[in-house]
């Protein structure tokens, strides 16, 4: 089952990357900047979906650069797919291109920073 959330506005994007984790833990977010016409995006999309299921401590978000061009511009997106990782609202890493190994490294790095502290 997919855990990838689609974002449709700049406000929604900001809300997702700035969301607070329960119990005061760190919040990790991995964002896929994509486009419906992008062949490499279509190839790596299912892998991004699988990673979302394998890493429940992270929030996975998809942004269509044509629908949310303001978000793409603000984030400096010049090629697709581009993946950003955020921790507590701050960008910490990025990968440009449909490189599964690099995406996996980005996600694993995000997992190390995002955990929930249960009282």
**For 15-56, how does the pLDDT look when each residue is reduced to its tens digit (9 = 90+)?**
999 987 665 566 799 999 999 999 999 999 999 999 999 998
Biggest alpha carbon–alpha carbon distance for the chain:
46
Q: Confirm whether 61 is domain-assigned.
A: yes
Q: How far is CA 101 from CA 2, 36, 84, 86, in A?
A: 20, 23, 15, 19
pLDDT above 70 coverage of the chain, percent: 87
Beta bridge partners of 82: 33, 96
In-domain check, residue 119: no
Catalytic residue among 7, 30, 31, 41: 41
Query: Cα–Cα distance between 40 and 25 in angstroms, integer?
Result: 34
Number of domains composing the chain: 1
The answer to whether residue 118 is domain-embedded is no
In a domain, 85, yes or no: yes
Give yes or no for a contact between 31 and 18, defined as CB atoms under 8 angstroms apart.
no
Catalytic: which of 17, 31, 38, 51? Answer: 38
Q: Compute the distance between CA of residue 53 and CA of residue 64 in angstroms, rounded to an integer.
A: 21
Domain containing 72 equals 4-112
pLDDT band at 64 (very low <50, low <70, confident <90, very high): very high
Q: What contacts 44, CB < 8 A, 6 or more positions away?
A: 81, 98, 100, 103
Q: Which CATH number goes with the domain that contains 15? A: 3.40.30.10
pTM for this one? 0.89
68 is catalytic: no
């Amino acid at each position: 089952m997919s855990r990838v959330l689609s974002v449709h506005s700049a406000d929604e994007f900001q809300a997702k990357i700035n969301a607070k984790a329960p119990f005061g833990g760190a919040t990790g977010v991995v964002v896929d900047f994509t486009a419906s016409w992008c062949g490499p995006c279509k190839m790596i999309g299912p892998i991004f979906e699988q990673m979302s299921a394998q890493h429940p401590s992270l929030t996975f978000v998809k942004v269509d650069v044509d629908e949310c061009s303001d978000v793409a511009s603000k984030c400096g997106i010049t090629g697709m797919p581009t993946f950003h990782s955020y921790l507590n609202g701050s960008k910490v890493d990025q990968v440009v291109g449909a490189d599964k190994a690099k995406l996996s490294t980005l996600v694993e790095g995000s997992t190390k920073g995002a955990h929930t502290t249960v009282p």
